[in-house]
Amino acid sequence: MSRDSKGPEPIRAGLVGCGRRGTGAAENFLMAAPGLRLVALADAFPDRLAECRTYLAGLKHEGYAVEEERCFAGYDAYRRLLDCGVDLVLLCAPPGFRPLHFAAAVTAGKHVFFEKPVAVDPAGVRKILAAGEEAGRKGLGVVAGTLYRHHRKFRETIRRVHEGAIGKVLSARAWYNTGALWRYDRKPGERELDYQVRNWPYFDWLSGDILVEQHVHTLDVVAWTLRAKPARAIGTGGRQARTGPEHGNVYDHFAVDYAFEGGVHCLSMNRQIAGAFGEVGAWFYGSEGVASPYAGTIAGANPWTFQGEAPDAYVQEQTDLIESIRSGSPLNETKQIAESTLLAILGREAAYTGKALTWDEILASSLDLTPSGFDWANPGIAYEPPVRVVPMPGRPRA
Amino acid sequence: MNGRVSRRAFVRAGSAAAAAALAPRFAFSIVRPAQDRPIRFGLVGCGGRGTGAAEDCLKSAPNVEVVALADVFPDRLEGCRAQLAGLSHPGFKVAEGRCFTGFDAYRRLLEGDLDLVLLATPPGFRPIHFEAAVEAGRHVFMEKPVAVDPAGVRRVLAAGEKAKAKGLAVVAGTQRRHQKCYVETIRRIHEGAIGRIVAARCFWNQGGLWRHDRKEGESDVEWQMRNWLYFTWLSGDHIVEQHVHNLDVINWALRAHPVSAVAVGGRQVRTEPVYGHIYDHFCVDYEYPDGVHATSMCRQQPGTDGRIGEAVVGTEGQADPAEWIEGKSPWRWKEEPDSPYVQEHADLIASVRSGAPLNEARAVAESTLTAILGREAAYTGKKIAWDEILASGLDLSPAAYEFGPLPVAGVPIPGKSA
């Protein structure tokens, strides 16, 4: 990046979604390039907003410039933030809100960094895809939180696979096996909607379940490496360890056999169970070797190990977005993150239903997990979401 | 851990089966007088599969007679006896004095004069029955799986070695090893038709299975034995009881057993107490020697899509071991799929009469342990190595084999189950 003596034109950003990842993304943004200003915060909950604001102020970063009048709380806070004079927004609310927030940001002409996943259902994915095209027409930068796309170790490994280092890719595996995640106890008098939104990983309509919310990272690496259209998924899963109502209606394990056009299959395995074996990774098996982007290694005919430093990809993804905007050729990752999100949704639905599902079926599916009567933009003070039911393979969805 | 020992065993079992399968069925009847002597067999376990096995065995070769029946339950024995009598087969020679019931029925059956036993009780009993059969010097056909826990697998392996030393034939109900379409495809895989194997997949996804309502006054043990599928000490869970077929094909095609396994599974839909405590779905990522991985998926959930079969991926092609090879050496089995249920008995009897008895004990014991490895990886949530499971002290057998109370063990919870 070239800089004249005055430095680059400042970019003014606002954060939508002040939880842990949002707070982290805002910090990463400030460190990503010179001349960046964080000027606004929005969250459904005033307490989360205040915690985030305190943390970011404590960094004493010159780019931190959040004033009281640009702090917005409530479910419609994103809209007020978009109207307050920002150039760029960081969209980090629970994934169920992403299609609404993204479409509104693009309509308002803002550059976007948005966290993965970008939807929880096919209806949301189609909304994201349409807004992404509009962003392209408007020349807006869009970068997604699938950070491995910006990680030097991953990029170099996968570039070598694409250049033929393991020959023809024949098979793949993708694991996201971990322990338990955080959750919050219900506060006295807390209404159901707020309880679910605070505990969003455990509700399908907010997180998309663990396969979509978490394992989308690994599936994105698979999609990136294979460069093949998904064809079909056969999946299984359930909740075996994490069965109480405090864990909403999501599963604690999934396994999916994905078939891609050209005949390559990928075993996807994903678990969040405390005390169980954990490992995250993706492995690609070719006619002449095996590649592991997570390890940064290639074994076989062309052995190679990643050497050197890999900059923090949480910062690098923001740097890449800012540089692309400043260079006048903005990145637009909408299609790739929308498709990786849909790949995860395909696997989830194959497991939930017990049906073999095709890519074309899920892309066209009318499935919309929005609770009946819920308005994402303005749910209203009295709205109570219905109890979410755990999906049962082979049975009609309740 | 390498798979060398078993690899040799698999080559041997595979090629012997192939040779037997390729031989004209009744060639021996012309050239070998040994077949003039009848082969008299007894059946231990008179349920659906046992009755079917007896019928298949009778049909498999000339001069084969069924002479004795054993089952824990008199009603099951009577049903089987009536069905076999109804065949009007000249080989049906079961006298009243050679029908035995109760937990020790197998022992009394083995004391009688017979050459061969078919072991078809619930799998939990197999190690005991197989040991006793070998001890008594009988040839054995035994249904799969051959154990439900590592302790049982070790007993079967040891008895299998003893059978070899005694020259006894041992054939297992992993019948794909006797099915020409599989034999021919896997022979080509072994000859290099798809190059070096890099991955494999296998599935047994289906709906529900049968069960019996609990009768008034039925003891825990009787109820569980009549519904043995749903209790791990009897069936090994459905990954062991059913999916062992597909895992056996993968071991056979790869000429190895797994090195380790990581798995998920649970009891999501079939949760009522009448279904005991087994899971209704599993998925296992098996690692084999040289870093080759195999996907295994099995489920029993009504209303879900079915898929039963295997796939093997090589550097120069892919194969469905039941049917075809594509890639550099394309090939397809063009005949109607042959029935292996009779063939496995034909191969057993031919091997006995030829004086070169088949011994499949190690192959089926290793396939059984492969399934147990996957089950335990899912039950515990742990990554488990082959050597660990082979040496494991896990023993699911009850304190005593008698009718009476037996509480249903809890459903395993990954991360909590030891």
Q: Which residues contact A50 (CB under 8 A, 6 or more apart)?
A: none
* A276·B380 Cβ contact <8 A: yes
The tokens describing B239, both together, are: 């990954």
* A265·B416 Cβ contact <8 A: no
In a 3-state reduction of DSSP, which class is residue B113? Answer: coil
B69 residue type, one letter: L
How many C-beta atoms surround the C-beta of residue A382 within 10 A? 7
Strand order in the sheet with B99-101: B99-101, B64-71, B39-44, B116-119, B139-142, B170-172
Mean pLDDT of A249-273: 98
> What integer pLDDT is reported at residue B35 of this predicted model?
58
pLDDT at B34 over 90: no
Is cis: bond before A117, omega within 30 of 0? yes
pLDDT digits (tens, 9 = 90+) for B170-200: 999 999 999 999 999 999 999 999 999 999 9
A232 residue type, one letter: R
Radius of gyration for the alpha carbons in chain A, expressed in angstroms and rounded: 21
pLDDT at A256 over 70: yes
Residues present in chain A in total: 398
Of the pLDDT bands very low, low, confident and very high (cuts 50, 70, 90), residue B336 is: confident
Q: ipTM, 2 decimals?
A: 0.95
CA B192 vs CA B1, B69, B180, B182, B316: distances in Å: 24, 45, 18, 15, 9
Beta bridge partners of B170: B140, B359
Torsion of CA B15, B19, B20, B25, to 10 degrees: 160
| Average pLDDT value over all residues in chain A | 96
In chain B the first and final C-alpha atoms are separated, in Å, by 23
pLDDT digits (tens, 9 = 90+) for B240-279: 999 999 999 999 999 999 999 999 999 999 999 999 999 9
- Yes or no: say if A130 and A142 are a contact pair by the CB < 8 Å rule: no
* Residue A191, Cβ density class (10 Å: 0-12 exposed, 13-18 middle, ≥19 buried): middle
**B121: phi then psi, degrees, rounded to nearest 5:** -75, 175
pLDDT digits (tens, 9 = 90+) for A16-69: 999 999 999 999 999 999 999 999 999 999 999 999 999 999 999 999 999 999
> What integer pLDDT is reported at residue B338 of this predicted model?
75
> What integer pLDDT is reported at residue A6 of this predicted model?
66
CA distance linking residue B222 with residue B214, whole number of Å: 9
Strand order in the sheet with B307-314: B331-332, B324-327, B317-320, B307-314, B197-206, B293-300, B281-287, B260-266, B384-385
Residue B250's region, left for phi above 0, alpha for psi from -120 to 50, else beta, is alpha
Out of B201, B267, B282, the one facing A265 most closely (by C-beta) is B201
Of the pLDDT bands very low, low, confident and very high (cuts 50, 70, 90), residue A397 is: confident
* A393·B382 Cβ contact <8 A: no
Contacts of A236 in chain B (CB under 8 A): 205, 281-283, 297, 299
| Average pLDDT value over all residues in chain B | 92
Of the pLDDT bands very low, low, confident and very high (cuts 50, 70, 90), residue A398 is: confident
- Yes or no: say if B84 and B51 are a contact pair by the CB < 8 Å rule: yes
Q: Sign (positive/negative) of CA torsion B15, B17, B22, B24?
A: positive
pLDDT digits (tens, 9 = 90+) for B122-169: 999 999 999 999 999 999 999 999 999 999 999 999 999 999 999 999
Out of B262, B283, B302, the one facing A236 most closely (by C-beta) is B283
More confident residue, B222 or B35: B222
* A170·B283 Cβ contact <8 A: no
A360 residue type, one letter: D
* A255·B302 Cβ contact <8 A: no
Would you list the DSSP string of B329-366? S-EE--SPPPPHHHHHHHHHHHHHHTT---B-HHHHHH
> What integer pLDDT is reported at residue B17 of this predicted model?
41
In chain A the first and final C-alpha atoms are separated, in Å, by 54
How many C-beta atoms surround the C-beta of residue B264 within 10 A? 30
Residue B205's region, left for phi above 0, alpha for psi from -120 to 50, else beta, is beta
| Nearest residue in A to B381, CA atom | A276
